[in-house]
Amino acid sequence: MSNDIARFETIRNGNAKDMDITAYVGGDRGGRAVQFTIGKQYASLSENQLRVLVELLESRLDGRISATESFEKLTIPTQTGNAGVSDS
């Protein structure tokens, strides 16, 4: 089962695509998840991965993550345990 819950219009002109958000249950690994679709490409995130994404976006909005400073890219695996962004 799935439900389209939002469409974000892009702020760029040209080839940039809008982003659709779909909530769903089931899938390859089961459980509840969220799918982000841009154009015809999509990524599906578990609830734990989505929580980490929200933390990262909040860090960007709060100025803790800059577009011009060095930042070690994180890889957030699909997991069932508690996920989160740590300072270590």
- Domain total in the chain: 1
pTM: 0.70
Amino acid at 7: R
In a domain, 50, yes or no: yes
Task: Round to whole Å and give the CA distance between 87 and 50.
Answer: 18
State the residue range of the domain holding 45.
Answer: 2-61
Specify if 18 maps to a domain. Answer: yes
47 within a domain of the structure (yes/no): yes
* C-beta of residue 51 within 8 angstroms of C-beta of residue 60: no
First-last CA distance in the chain: 38
Q: What is the mean pLDDT of residues 7-34?
A: 86
In a domain, 66, yes or no: no
| Residue 24 within any structural domain of the chain | yes
- pLDDT of the residue at 19: 93
Determine the pLDDT at residue 13.
86
Please list, in sequence order, all residues whose beta carbon lies within 8 angstroms of the beta carbon of residue 57, skipping any fewer than 6 positions away.
none
**For tokens 């040209």, what's the residue?**
14
- State yes or no: pLDDT of 84 exceeds 60: no
Q: What is the pLDDT of residue 86?
A: 43
**66: pLDDT strictly greater than 80:** yes
SS3 50: helix
Residue 22 resides in a domain: yes
